[in-house]
């Protein structure tokens, strides 16, 4: 089937999976912003999106999108390098403003994956994972189960650590470069090649991605400086920062 065997088909799969992940980032960013204004409201959202069947299905679907996007990204990168040296994306025209990102998509992608691993460690492993283990009949400490929906507390404690705050900022910067290039590349792959409309979509994509990244950045900054509702959370110094940070 051409969708899986041809280079164009593989690019379509990577483009669709990438756009799906962008939509998830928009939802996740919007949800996280609630923590700045209401820790109770944010914790209610976290409880709603705990280990319920719809949350688990969504998590599984999200993991599948990430896996598909990652696998096809590596496959296409290897194919492009083999066929055209260091050129990684076969496009008709490369906007100068994203030339650097275009040439370093693999490196940016690796940073994004590493940042995702850190994010899963800091939040998912302390929130949804304990609930899943508990549902499977495995022992989970009661204090852990009591805090699985305390998302605002985890935000405050994580980002009060300067090392974590810096790592997340680096991650978000890499994600911005990755998404700004990936957005217009996906739109072009899916058929928008008209120069006028392509330029308009490119501008829209850059603004759209920038808003998403700024939203995530606002949560990091609010957590670090204790702004808004997050400033009302008391964070003990030993718990606020992992041992290597302090």
pLDDT tens track for 38-86: 999 999 999 998 878 888 999 999 999 999 998 888 888 788 777 765 4
Question: In the chain, count of helices (H) and strands (E)?
Answer: 12, 0
Of 64-78, 96-110, 151-165, highest mean pLDDT = 151-165
DSSP alpha helices (H): ranges in 49-138? Answer: 53-84, 99-103, 105-122, 128-135
| Per-residue tokens: 15 | 């483009």
* Domain range list for the chain: 2-240
pTM: 0.85
Burial of 189 (0-12, 13-18, 19+ CB in 10 A): buried
Encode pLDDT of 164-188 as tens digits. Answer: 999 999 999 999 999 998 888 888 8
Dihedral over alpha carbons 154, 156, 162, 168 (to 10 degrees): 60
Helices 39-48 and 7-37, axial angle in degrees (round to 10): 140
For the chain, what is the largest distance between any 2 Cα atoms, rounded to a whole number of angstroms?
Answer: 59
**Would you say residue 237 has pLDDT above 60?**
no
What top-level class would CATH report for the domain 2-240? mainly alpha
């Amino acid at each position: 089937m051409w969708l899986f065997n041809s280079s164009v088909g593989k690019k379509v799969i990577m483009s669709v999976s990438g756009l799906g992940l962008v939509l998830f980032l928009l939802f996740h960013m919007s949800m996280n912003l609630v923590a700045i204004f209401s820790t109770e409201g944010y914790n209610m959202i976290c409880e709603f999106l705990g280990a319920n069947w719809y949350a688990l299905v969504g998590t599984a679907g999200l993991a599948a999108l990430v896996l598909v996007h990652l696998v096809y990204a590596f496959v296409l990168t290897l194919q492009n390098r083999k066929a055209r040296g260091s050129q990684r994306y076969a496009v008709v025209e490369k906007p100068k403003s994203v030339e650097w990102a275009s040439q370093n998509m693999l490196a940016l992608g690796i940073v994004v994956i590493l940042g995702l691993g850190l994010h899963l460690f800091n939040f998912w492993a302390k929130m949804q994972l304990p609930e899943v283990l508990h549902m499977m009949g495995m022992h989970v400490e009661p204090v852990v189960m009591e805090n699985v929906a305390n998302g605002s507390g985890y935000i405050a404690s994580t980002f009060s650590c300067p090392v974590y705050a810096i790592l997340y900022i680096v991650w978000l910067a890499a994600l911005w470069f990755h998404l700004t290039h990936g957005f217009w590349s996906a739109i072009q792959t899916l058929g928008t090649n008209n120069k006028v409309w392509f330029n308009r979509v490119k501008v829209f994509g850059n603004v759209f991605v920038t808003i998403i990244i700024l939203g995530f950045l606002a949560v990091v900054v609010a957590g670090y400086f204790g702004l808004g509702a997050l400033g009302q959370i008391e964070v003990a110094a030993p718990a606020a920062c992992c041992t290597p940070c302090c």
